[in-house]
Structure 1
Amino acid sequence: MPKKSKSKKEKRPALLEACQELFDTTDLYEVIGVRREATPQEVKKGYHKRSLTVHPDRVGPEEKEVATKKFQTLGKIYTILSDKEKRAVYDETGDFGEDDDVLDQDKDWCEYWRLLFPKVTVKDIEEFEKKYKGSADELADLKTAYIDAEGDMDIIMDSVLCSTPEDEERFTQILQDLTKDKELPEFKAFTKESKKKKSARQRRAAAEAEEASEEAKRLKLDDTDASLTALIQKRNKSRAARDDSFFANLRAKYAQPQKGKKKKK
């Protein structure tokens, strides 16, 4: 990326200083985890996925200050990369002009974030699950999980969206067929998995299912965003990494670009 020549006395823009301090890079694309050629929708998904991990409501009190700074910085980056003209200037010169909109420390970035991304309710998740299970998307995710986990079914079951213990037999058969047909490599972790390891996984799954059921009863879970948020917050305490992956990907699928009234689904 071409950079504007700067004098030694010229200060680096405050946003880039924040990027360096908080994310160890001054490349705006790198901060949100997308390539420079990313489409506007990919930029939005990248911002959404990264901001989910530092949302102030999703971290503990001891991490809240740093998370808030990161969340604000990501919002400022998105205001640049989502603006066609500002992005073009940044791509060409490495500069973007820190106007009041970008620098406004009092801007409600949480409200800005909520306006960009629709809420996901329990009903949304159920509808998504019906379409996802048995789809080409699920198969692609299963293959990727198998390769990344090198055949470890513990990781595979945690990685594939919407997976439940009832899906394990189906996943196993699919993977066995794919390895037999040489579409996937064979991994000992998969082909030689011990009965003890499989039983332990099934016991954990049963315990988690019971815990989730009890928690849903305690929260009187219904089809509202408030109930879903309460359940997410509860689950985050014990299964943060898995939940972050699940909800980041699920919300990203729902985070469609805002369209004018002329275009309705």
Structure 2
Amino acid sequence: MSLLDLCKQYFNTTNLYEILQIDEKASEKEVKKAYHRLSLKVHPDRVKEDDKLEATEKFKVLGGVHAILSDKEKRELYDTTKSVDDGEYNIIKDRDWTVYWRLLFKKITEEDIKAYEKEYIGSEEEKKDLKNAYLAGKGDMDYIVDQVQFARSEHEDRLKAILTEMIDEGEIPAYKIFTHEPAKKRQRRHAKENREAKEAEEFKKELGLGSGENSLELMIKQKQESRASQMNSFLDNLATKYGEGKPKGRKRKAKETKETTTETTTKKRK
């Protein structure tokens, strides 16, 4: 299957610029930034286990798109013909796109996460994600806080106010589970968040890390020194735990890491 066919399959368009959501006159820096933003959303290490297969394929396609739009000659050919050299893509499609991605972007530090959180909160992107999560979860706040980045309990009143305004304006329906959420349900959600926060701290202690602002950076440096895929996956998930997702518990994480490592090893043997 050609790259453009895969683009159509996974992104519903054969326009490489539309996939990255950029203008055809976008600079090289803008291309890289757009690729980084989208690849984070489908990075195999940052999605649920059930979504890993599709995310992996999307991640590969995005890598191919970036490989074309970041190369002056390949981009000019695409701009002129609206086609790509599938012969060349067939050569590079088996590239380890995870390595490609890691070489292209710097490692995530705790400061990076804080900066992104500051930019994300209150943005149009947050509102869009919030609306999509509300509709997908039919107003269930448990679902919403699991889907929207940085949706901690301290932000719930603000997020609810945004959704309430959307309801008042007729932009979204008023689901009873949202408008009349039982107090006990909210209490259980907050209790779960507190448990998960404690588990995250236990992870850091087990790695011999403190709670200072450089602790995640030190952890990632340890990761760079390790060649074990199990450690790579584990630390990536931990980075996600602090910034982009909700921790799922120590035992479950260990199980997922083990399964990911086994799957990777099996593929390499084949």
Deviates more, 1:202-211 or 1:37-46: 37-46
Aligned mates of 1:76, 1:180 — CA distance in 2? 40
Unpaired runs of 5+ in structure 2?
210-214, 224-231, 247-270
SS in 1 for 2:113: helix
Query: Are 2:210 and 1:223 aligned?
Result: no
What is the TM-score with the length of structure 2 in the denominator?
A: 0.57
Query: Are 2:237 and 1:233 aligned?
Result: yes
Residues 110, 141 of structure 1: alpha-carbon distance in 2 compared, 3 angstrom cutoff = closer
Alignment of 1:151-166 (within 5 A): 151-166=139-154
Give 2:38's aligned residue: 49
Aligned mates of 2:61, 2:19 — CA distance in 1? 14
Listed one character per residue, the Cα deviations across residues 13-35 of structure 1 (whole Å, up to 9, x for unaligned) are x7549949xx67996547x9446
Whichever residue aligns with residue 178 of structure 2, its letter is: F
RMSD across aligned C-alpha pairs, in angstroms? 4.8
- Among residues 191, 206, 210, which one is paired with 2:194 in the alignment? 206
Q: Is 2:20–2:31's contact at 8 Å kept on the other side of the alignment?
A: yes
SS in 2 for 1:223: helix
Give 1:172's aligned residue: 160
Q: How many residues align?
A: 222
Residues 58, 143 of structure 1: alpha-carbon distance in 2 compared, 3 angstrom cutoff = closer
Residues 235, 36 of structure 1: alpha-carbon distance in 2 compared, 3 angstrom cutoff = closer
Structure number with the higher helix fraction is 2
Q: Is 1:54–1:67's contact at 8 Å kept on the other side of the alignment?
A: yes
**Following TM superposition, by how much is the alpha carbon of 1:165 offset from its aligned partner in structure 2, in angstroms?**
1.8
Residues 127, 101 of structure 1: alpha-carbon distance in 2 compared, 3 angstrom cutoff = same
Residues 148, 210 of structure 1: alpha-carbon distance in 2 compared, 3 angstrom cutoff = same
Deviates more, 1:124-133 or 1:38-47: 38-47
Aligned mates of 1:119, 1:189 — CA distance in 2? 40
**Following TM superposition, by how much is the alpha carbon of 1:108 offset from its aligned partner in structure 2, in angstroms?**
6.0
Give 2:169's aligned residue: 182
Whichever residue aligns with residue 45 of structure 1, its letter is: A
**Following TM superposition, by how much is the alpha carbon of 1:117 offset from its aligned partner in structure 2, in angstroms?**
2.1
Percent identity over the alignment is 33
Listed one character per residue, the Cα deviations across residues 147-186 of structure 1 (whole Å, up to 9, x for unaligned) are 454422112212332121222233334444x157536542
Aligned mates of 2:141, 2:127 — CA distance in 1? 15
- Among residues 95, 101, 123, which one is paired with 2:111 in the alignment? 123
- Work out which structure has the larger RCO, using CA pairs closer than 8 Å and 6 or more positions apart in sequence: 1
